[in-house]
Structure 1
Amino acid sequence: MRLSQGQVAVVTGAASGIGLAMARRFAAEGLKVVLADVEKAALHKAADQLAQDGARVFAQTVDVGDRDSVSELADAAYETFGAVHVLCNNAGVGSGAEGRMWEHEPNDWKWAFAVNVWGVFHGIQAFVPHMIASGEPGHVVNTSSGDGGIAPLPTASVYAVTKAAVVTMTESLYAHLKAEHARVGASVLFPGPHMLRTGLWESHRNRPERYAKERPRRTPYRSLDQWQAAMKDAGHEVAFTPVEEVAAFVVDGIRAGRFWLLPASEHSDRQIRARAQSMLDRANPSYLEKFILD
């Protein structure tokens, strides 16, 4: 898809991290940008900064887990700019789950699925019919993660399961768009190839009351800086990918019409091969043994 001045991009989870980096990059390409996020103050701060840099911006507070909230975003985006050409379903959260899977609180799963899975579907349902009907070129980017989207991460099973679901949802979307001969493409994004400095580690700050924890956590939440320090103390240096590089990768992928927005990584390639080989061999998943703890 050719990106050109005057087109419109919608980004959820746009107040910080990858979402804000994508919005900035789209604006730099001359696109009008619609920013959506559940954090009202951070959202409007981001929108003001983009506007000061000369971008045409519209911002709306949205809970992507609420279908009506996303539908209202679509209505406002079309009323404001008259079209949508790029949709980035990027909003995501962790879960706060502790312990073994059978010990998890149901609300940990409900909240993570509401945002990470239902949020993507709500975006597709609210925007894609309009994008198809316009007859103009368009593209949908759904944000997954290597932690689940490529290979399971048993130590964060709730998050991993939701991100695996995003991959299958996007594959299905791609097939449906092709069946409709639509001029709308689809991609699944695996941000990386290294760790990212985003607000995902503190996503519990926006946890809705309807998905509140049912019992106190056994351990306090750990910030990214605290985790990085613990890794360093254990002798492991953590590499980070700037979010601006992820945004540039997304723009290049949209232009090229690539489905798999998967940066080159020996680590990811090993995971993909190991999992595929295990399935082809009908063998037990030995690649998960490193996660088996006493």
Structure 2
Amino acid sequence: MTEDPFAGRTAVITGAASGIGAALAAELGARGMSLVLADIDEIGVRRMAAEMRDRKVHALGVGVDVSDPNSVAALAEASYTEFGSVELLCNNAGVLLLGTVAESSLGDWRWLSSVNVEGTLNCLHAFLPQMRRASGWRYVMNTSSTHAFLPDTSRSALYSATKHAVLGLTLGLRTELAADGIGVTLLCPGQAATRILDSQRNRPQSYGRRAGEPFGTGVIPMSIEPAEVARIAVEGIRRESPVVFALPEDTRATFRSQVESMWRLADDALGEHLETRAAAVD
């Protein structure tokens, strides 16, 4: 696709109160889209919507807990009531905590997966039925992470596991929705200058005690700016790319070597299997 598909259409963006979600709002709004901005931080997301309206963008801010199917259903109803259609769904809401598998609690896992995995599914179930019945350009972008491609996820195994799930879900969804004419892209940021280290500020008490925060709660240093992530993501949607990586320029060579190490694990295992079969034949 070479033309700009965004102007005059509506996007729903979760996790839109700050970080990459807010940057996606600014990028898509500048390209002429109407916006439904959703976040568990209701005050923050309504403020972001007001900023978009100050820029002459038609924007609605909605407080939403993506882990709650009823909350997401209410988001879908508000979106269609306000705009009549949704052409782009950006499942961007995500949370992070760090710690070893042995030290992490089941509450840690349940919280991470409830937002990162079930939150994505809840949004898909709420929006896809009407998107599939519509016609014309329609698109879904799910946010995963470069962590879905790393061979060593020490201290981030639970988080990485949820992002592996989003990877598998998105690649399968891309095939499933092709027949409906709906495009799907996986966004994989790495080291973005966001508040993701402070994700537990929104962690419900029902998931138990907060995990330790070994790297503090500040903005990630030596990072790519959210605005650049959003620009790369939106260009990836325009090109209908299956996967889009957005990470600092000076970390790309390291990331490529990490991905190559990941695939060497498979190559080594397959090689051992072939050697075992050859020895058995001999």
TM-score of the pair, normalised by structure 1: 0.85
Contact 2:11–2:88 (8 Å) recurs in 1: yes
Unaligned runs of 5+ in 1: 229-237, 285-294
Would you say the 8 A contact 1:148–1:159 is kept in 2? no
**Match for residue 182 of structure 2?**
184
Matched, 1:271 2:273: no
Which residue in 1 is equivalent to 2:164? 164
Return the offset for 1:175: 1.5
Structure 2: which 5+ residue stretches go unaligned? 272-282
Is 1:146 matched with 2:146? yes
Deviations 1:76-104 (A, max 9, x none): 10111011111110001113x54x31332
- Decide whether aligned partners of structure 1 residues 220 and 266 sit closer, same or farther in structure 2, where only a CA change above 3 A counts: closer
Alignment of 1:197 onto 2:197: no
Runs of 4+ more than 6 Å apart = 218-221
- Rounded Cα–Cα distance in structure 2 between residues aligned with 1:24 and 1:219: 30
Q: Which amino acid aligns with 1:52?
A: D
Deviations 1:210-250 (A, max 9, x none): 2131xx7567771235xx6xxxxxxxxx5221111111111
Give the share of equivalent positions with the same residue, in percent.
33
Tell me the secondary structure at the aligned position of residue 155 of structure 1: coil
Do the aligned residues in 2 keep the contact of 1:188 with 1:259 (CA within 8 Å)? yes
2:204 to 192, 204, 208: 208
Q: Per-residue displacement from partner, 1:105-147 (whole Å, max 9, x unpaired)?
A: 1100000000000011111111122111102211111111112
Tell me which residue corresponds to 2:241.
258
Aligned length: 265
Aligned mate of 2:66, from 64, 67, 84: 64
Q: One-letter code of the match for 2:188?
A: F
Aligned to 1:132: 132
The question of 1:224 aligning with 2:218 is answered yes
RMSD over aligned CA atoms reads: 2.0
Q: Sort the Cα spacing of 1:61 and 1:149 in 2 relative to 1 into closer, same or farther, 3 A.
A: farther
Equivalent-residue separation in structure 2 for 1:114 and 1:281 (angstroms): 34
- Paired position in structure 2 for 1:37: 39
- Rounded to whole Å, the distance in 2 between the matches of 1:247 and 1:4 is 14
Deviation readout 1:178-201 (Å, 9 max, x if unpaired): 2xx111111110114xx2121211
TM-score (norm 2): 0.88
**Corresponding position of 1:51:** 53
Aligned counterparts of 2:212 and 2:108: Cα–Cα separation in 1: 14
